[in-house]
Amino acid sequence: MKAYLIDRYAKGGTLKLGEIAQPELRDNDVLVEIHAAGVNVLDSKIRDGEFKLILPYRLPLVLGNDVAGVVVRVGAKVRQFKTGDEVYARPAQDRIGTFAEYIAMDEADVALKPMNLTMEQAASIPLVALTAWQALVERANVQKGQKVLIHAGSGGVGTIAIQLAKHLGAHVATTTSTANVDLVRNLGADVVIDYKTEDFETVLHDYDVVLNGLGKETLEKSLGVLKRGGKLISISGPPDLDFARQAGSGWLLQQVMRLLSFGIRNKSKHRGIRYSFLFMRANGEQLEKITRLIETGRLRPVMDRIFPFDKTNEALAHVETGRAKGKVVIAVK
């Protein structure tokens, strides 16, 4: 099968188109013919080698963390899916590889594709929607009436997180640039901070939750927005000890991550705020709940651009500009 892969880590490197064997099917796996693959910032971070200590992949490695397609074979123990099912998924982090014609995934990581979405729209959803779900539902337990700030509301995570927070009944603020103010308002944001003209930390106060996908400066300023008892959840780092333990990191790496997040944890503690780093994980059950929200019109995908398979490198470069409005997707089939 055709696949876009890397044979070494290189910052800004190019993915190579290669011909490789179809993935082997384990008993609990479904083999999916890939119709579309979502592109994520994570793909370029993996290519750059930023995750090599946490996710020790064997090279060559096929990149790609989001998929929509059709089940073409099932393993002996598969119970939930059959050949012909249209599905979508974020594959488990140690079994990525959606910039390809086929992928094998554990059925526990897969869900039926929302019936009202195209393959390309569906492929835009899993990683960012699971991230939003795991941040807002699982970790923050957002309740009706709570105040939630979502940074970078026009990005892949932001466009879904705004809608999910509204669905949970929160009062939602978001940051974006002038060009995207209407987009985030249409997604339901109650307060829109145009970072070109306003400083969010002077406008917003007494928030319950902040979801941060931006840099250190934004992370630290976010402390001023939260009330005592509030939660600061960062998906862009720095990683903390809980994450290192979950990731099964050794003692040394655990200490490194503890040190990396020492500053923000300490500042948070002084203000009575709980800082945590979140690294999303595959989860077919949560994705099923997301399917329901999409089919009932509570969540909708926001698509920036669809690239053909032979423009996979261009698709990745487009995401790397940091200016995408919603999601970038590759049409594979």
Ligand X SMILES: NC(=O)c1ccc[n+]([C@@H]2O[C@H](COP(=O)([O-])OP(=O)(O)OC[C@H]3O[C@@H](n4cnc5c(N)ncnc54)[C@H](OP(=O)(O)O)[C@@H]3O)[C@@H](O)[C@H]2O)c1
Binding site for ligand X (CB under 6 A): 40-42, 45, 128, 131, 151-152, 154-158, 175-177, 180, 195, 213-214, 235-236, 278-280, 319, 322-325
The least CB distance from residue 196 to ligand X, in Å, is 8
The least CB distance from residue 80 to ligand X, in Å, is 25
Of 297, 294, 288, 277, nearest in space to 211 by CA = 277
Rounded-to-integer distance, Cα 291 and Cα 269, Å: 37
Place of tokens 């969540």: 299
Rounded-to-integer distance, Cα 111 and Cα 87, Å: 6
The least CB distance from residue 184 to ligand X, in Å, is 9
Type of residue at 325: K
The least CB distance from residue 1 to ligand X, in Å, is 27
Query: Whose Cβ is closer to ligand X: residue 36's or residue 41's?
Result: 41
Of 151, 198, 204, 201, nearest in space to 175 by CA = 151
Query: Whose Cβ is closer to ligand X: residue 74's or residue 192's?
Result: 192
* Ordered strands of the 2-6 beta sheet: 16-19, 2-6, 61-62
Query: Whose Cβ is closer to ligand X: residue 33's or residue 194's?
Result: 194
The least CB distance from residue 219 to ligand X, in Å, is 11
The least CB distance from residue 22 to ligand X, in Å, is 28
Give the dihedral of Cα atoms 169, 175, 178, 182; nearest 10 deg.
Answer: -10
CA distances from 295 to 87, 113, 156, 240 (A): 14, 10, 19, 36
Query: Whose Cβ is closer to ligand X: residue 43's or residue 208's?
Result: 43
The least CB distance from residue 244 to ligand X, in Å, is 14
Q: Which residue is nearest to ligand X (CB)?
A: 155
Query: Whose Cβ is closer to ligand X: residue 56's or residue 322's?
Result: 322
Query: Whose Cβ is closer to ligand X: residue 31's or residue 226's?
Result: 226
Residues 6+ apart with CB under 8 A from 167: 293, 298, 299
Query: Whose Cβ is closer to ligand X: residue 166's or residue 325's?
Result: 325
Say if residues 30 and 107 touch (Cβ distance below 8 Å): yes
